A and B are shown apart, each in its own frame.
Chain A
């Protein structure tokens, strides 16, 4: 089947043999966008997070047939936006990334949180990132980064 997607603002078409192919694999292999990562492949770690029609999803759990006709924002696309830049600066300043494996997913989840709640408190940030696992930072520095991104990006998140 032919699947149509708008990925990071660009219209793309992919041929897939099987509609159950995962959105994650299409993004990484067919489109060559490797920002979204496979950690667990079971919805537990959030490394594969993307926005599907503006909503945060684990792309390892979405069969491509369900995404046909949708908008997808990947970590690469987020990085190009002013919001993504504010997040990247905040993660850098607060040392929110160490090995970096979780970071693209963390930023997607952070963006999704800030889009629905532009001034979250610490507890709301912890809940917003609760589907994202980090083996390195101990989370506190990531929380600081999101607080900073909320502060610095005032007005950006709408």
Chain B
């Protein structure tokens, strides 16, 4: 059995991490369940624990030159717009009203879909990403947002795309001496967001399939698009070829025969990269069908958005 430490700040945490290789512990909503013993007993950990949930440097939401920075230990409740959690964050000066207002609906909705209220006050994006589950909801949203993960060590930081950081369930590129400090991504003015998670029960349901989509729109045409599917393979799947087929789309393309051909092609390309597996939660066939239904729903939502923007 190891020790547990609660460092005062990030600098101390990084020294401890470097010297002891202790296991980072944020909200504990994964770790406490994974290391659970019998009823009436605490968990059992082989390694020392390094608590990071309270570190000020990991709890900030910052708006900086068109980019949003979300600390690794910002509770999901703050991202999901729980008014009490946000009030606390504002009172502690971890976030400003402006920064909170920039959180795109894609991230807000994904955080809101993560478990139930009592879970969201503890669970963190750092834990969700470090877990690297292909069913991680906030991980899927961050991949769709093209976010970078900022990894801190005692002598500096490095940055890499969130998707590259994850290698497969439970596996990441986190080095022994590093902690996830934050995530960063641009939030353009004219954006389009889509989020849908399909699970069994409303709360606490493990995601069977999810789709997070994020686009930027310029003068009524789609300028960029990313489509991130969750729980359809060992990692989050970005359907980039499908997304490329749709670039430059405007309202009329959803009706024209050329546009329809491109949409059908895009769907085929999406189908090619989705390779779900059978498991106890559902079959591969079910997952693929649902994933493609979500794709169609996202396109309808996009068409509606472009229409409403061109109307005014």
Contact = CB atoms under 8 A, between A and B. Distances in A.
Interface of A: 18-22, 25, 38, 41-44, 46, 49, 52-58, 60-63, 65-66, 68, 109, 112-113, 115-117, 126-128, 130-132
Interface stretch (B27-35, B235-243, B289-297, B301-309): B27-35
Contacts of B185: none
Contacts of A66: 6, 28, 51, 53-54
A43 B203 contact: no
A91 B88 CA distance: 30
B42 A131 contact: no
A55 B85 contact: yes
B285 to A, nearest CB: 28
Contact of B115 (A21, A43, A62): A43
Nearest to A42: B33
B277 interface: no
Contacts of A55: 77, 84-85, 88, 121
Contact of B122 (A62, A65, A109, A115): A62
21 contacts: A18-B1, A19-B4, A20-B42, A22-B43, A38-B40, A41-B36, A43-B118, A43-B119, A52-B121, A55-B84, A57-B121, A61-B32, A62-B32, A63-B28, A63-B42, A63-B51, A66-B53, A66-B54, A109-B117, A112-B117, A116-B83
A116 B39 contact: no
Contacts of B117: 56, 109, 112-113, 127-128, 130-131
Contacts of B119: 43, 58, 131
Contacts, number: 110
A131 B33 contact: no
A56 B27 CA distance: 13
Given A116-B82, A128-B117, A43 B51 contact: no
Nearest to B115: A131
B39 A41 contact: yes
Given A41-B36, A131-B115, A54 B88 contact: yes
B49 interface: yes
B204 interface: yes
A111 B83 CA distance: 14
B264 interface: no
B45 interface: yes
B19 to A, nearest CB: 19
B202 interface: yes
A6 B172 CA distance: 39
Given A131-B115, A131-B116, A60 B32 contact: yes
B204 A43 contact: yes
Nearest to A55: B121
Nearest to B44: A20
A43 B83 contact: no
A46 B118 contact: yes
A85 B266 CA distance: 58
Given A19-B4, A56-B117, A43 B84 contact: no
A65 B6 contact: yes
A22 B51 CA distance: 14
Kindly name the residue among B33, B42, B202 whose own CB sees the greatest number of chain A CB atoms within 10 A. Answer: B42
Given A22-B42, A63-B32, A131-B119, 16 more contacts: A18-B1, A19-B4, A42-B36, A54-B88, A61-B28, A63-B43, A65-B51, A66-B6, A66-B28, A112-B84, A127-B117, A130-B116, A130-B202, A130-B204, A131-B115, A131-B116
- For the complex of A and B, the 10 pairs showing the least CB-CB separation, nearest first, are A131-B116, A130-B203, A19-B4, A55-B121, A61-B32, A116-B84, A56-B118, A130-B116, A21-B42, A58-B118
Contacts of B83: 116-117
Interface string B255-279: 0000000000000000000000000
